[in-house]
Amino acid sequence: MLALAGVLLLTRPWNGAVDGTGLLFAGLAAVGWASHILLTQRVGDRFSGITGLSLTVPVAAATAALIGVPQAAGHLTLGVLAAAFGLALLLPVLPYAFEMLALRHMTHTAFGTLMSLEPAIGVLLGLLVLHEHPSLSQLGGIVLVVAAGTAAQRDGRRGMLGHVSETYDEPEVRRLLEEKLADVEEQLTTMAKPPTEQSNISFGKRVGDGTQMAVDRLAQVAVHDRLQLTRDDVVRALAKLDEGSYGRCDVCAVAIPEGRLEALPWAVLCLQHAGRRGRS
């Protein structure tokens, strides 16, 4: 409510006429922003770093191209292309990357409240760049919006999950983990025992069967190691269910994003530390 009151004081809609079409477009814009925040958070939970942008930015570019390409046809120069490249970095890529990273650490409600700071920033830029002097009501709106943004951060940090039974369907999670454990152990049992040392692998005297055999054995070792790692994670996740710490990273104790747990119920590391383990 503080943010809404602050935005009203900043924009002062009572100074102009109320237009039904304008209200409709404003409502559609609000729905669009809400969908953007929720979907960005969901994509960010499922991919490490900002790799999720490789899925979202091309879709946005293709959508804009439907309108932009016909208008730009015949007017493209090296200067225009260079400016377009710079704008692409400043507008979609960098803001979206920062938003995705921020939404990993705060709730969507806290992020949405912080978005209401944009009109306040616009008023301040008008003062600094255009030398426009804000009215007392606009100054009051800035104070309200900043207060709302500050209050939203008190409980806006993600990762403060309680016991798993309060957040997840514990019997369903346990069932999925036990099924995964049985599947992985069956695959490990059916695999031939891999060599323990690379020195046991013979490449033969000729490039042919010996080389192919060595490649197959190395691939088998890689599959075996990956299955063993998955098995260890499943066993650890089951133990964390019993401990009441399921859903938290084993390294930093921060909550693992919900989207990651939906995709990998046996995840025991957050995206950051899972990535580090993959590089080690």
29, 115 contact by CB (below 8 A):
no
Q: What confidence score (pLDDT) does residue 178 get? A: 94
What is d(CA 231, CA 246) in angstroms, rounded to the nearest whole number?
16
Q: CA dihedral in degrees (57, 58, 64, 69; nearest 10)?
A: 140
Find how far residue 5's CA is from the centre of its chain: 30
Q: Which pLDDT tens digit goes with each residue over 80-128?
A: 888 888 888 888 888 888 888 888 777 788 888 788 777 778 888 888 8
Q: Contact at 8 Å (CB) between 177 and 49? A: no
Query: What pTM was computed for the model?
Result: 0.55
Q: What is the pLDDT of residue 146?
A: 79
Q: How many CB atoms lie within 10 A of CB 144?
A: 22
Cα distances from 250 to residues 6, 65, 222, 253, 271, in angstroms, run 42, 44, 24, 6, 12
CATH class given for the domain over 164-279: mainly alpha
Asked if 261 and 45 touch (Cβ cutoff 8 Å), the reply is no
Write out residues in the chain with pLDDT < 70, as ranges. 45, 48-49, 152-167, 192-210, 212, 278-280
Domain boundaries, given as residue ranges, for the chain = 2-152, 164-279
